Amino acid sequence: MPRVSLTRGYKGKGHISLRPLNGLGRKFRLGNVVSLSETIETDRQAREDFQEAGGGELDVSETVTSVTAELNVNDIKPETIAIGMRGTHELLAAQALTNEAQSAWSGERVTFNYIPDPDVAPVVKIDATAAWAQNTVYVEGDLVLDTARAYLCIDGGTSGGVEPTWPVTAGQTVTDGTAVWRDLGTLTLTKDTHYAVTPQGIRFIAGGADLFIGDSELPLKVDYTRNPQYVIQALVNSGTEYEVIFDGLNEVDSGNPFVGRYFRCKFSPTSGFSRIGNEFAEMTLSMTVLKDENRVGTGLSQYMEFQMI
């Protein structure tokens, strides 16, 4: 039998979907939208009554200047972040990556370019390629390579005229002219000795202290497997326009359906998004409802339409 309304009280719930109007991309749901509210602003002009002491208005004109809506979403999907950040999102597949250049400092974390697969151990290597040279000025932090071992300059100076006899035990030093070198060992570093694995890359631990001198950078090359992941590029477009569809229901009226359509909408950058906190994060999305001149017909709105029982 047909649905009927039993009360005009309203408590709304529902699904909100967006469809890009440029035809680039599919319709998608925002997810758990915890609030949706509309605001219609007007420019109000009145003709006051100056004929009587009591005053009042003889005529009033109110022109709609803007129609906006605000959505608060706590399903933080890549599509949602991209809308709020005026960006794009892309799903990257798993991929083995080799010789990714990174920089390290003593006791600090190294964040890889992509989120790594936790089931595939990374391979971390010192990026040392330069051969030793005679009568050359070296500074603290310089690296040279000899027979697959890396040597770190721990005291700057000028190298001698004859190549030194390089130590082959990690941690040992050798004087070279007025420079001093420390043996760092083979190029490939050892997990849980030099570094520990983190969800985003690695962090250097106490056992890796000899790899560094002061605040000098240690160049690395890392091999790892990229976990499948979304990448969101923020602030790279001027705002895609969408049709917004609200498949709603009235919770206090036997769940009767309610449908809202906003034909042409443009979102503003989000006013805020908490990335660290104790509460569930929400993203506030504010949109302007624009005139859709492609929608024509007697009595048809060019802005929005609602259907209810």
Higher pLDDT, 125 or 215: 125
**Percent of the chain at pLDDT above 90?**
92
User: Is the pLDDT at 159 greater than 90, yes or no?
Assistant: yes
Instruction: Name the token pair of 128.
Output: 């040392």
Does position 274 have pLDDT exceeding 90, yes or no?
Answer: no
Q: Where are the beta strands (DSSP E) in 76-217?
A: 88-92, 95-104, 109-111, 123-126, 137-138, 143-146, 149-155, 157-158, 173-176, 179-186, 195-197, 201-204
- Residue 239 confidence (pLDDT) above 90: no
Please tell me the predicted confidence (pLDDT) of residue 3.
Answer: 94
| All structural domains of the chain with their residue ranges | 92-128+187-229, 129-186
Residues 6+ apart with CB under 8 A from 215: 105, 106
What H or E segment, with its residue span, contains residue 37?
Answer: strand 33-48
Tokens 């109000």: give the residue: 44
Tell me which residue of 189, 302, 300 sits closest to 243, measured CA to CA.
Answer: 302
**For the whole model, what pTM was predicted?**
0.85
> Is pLDDT at 162 greater than 90 in this prediction?
yes
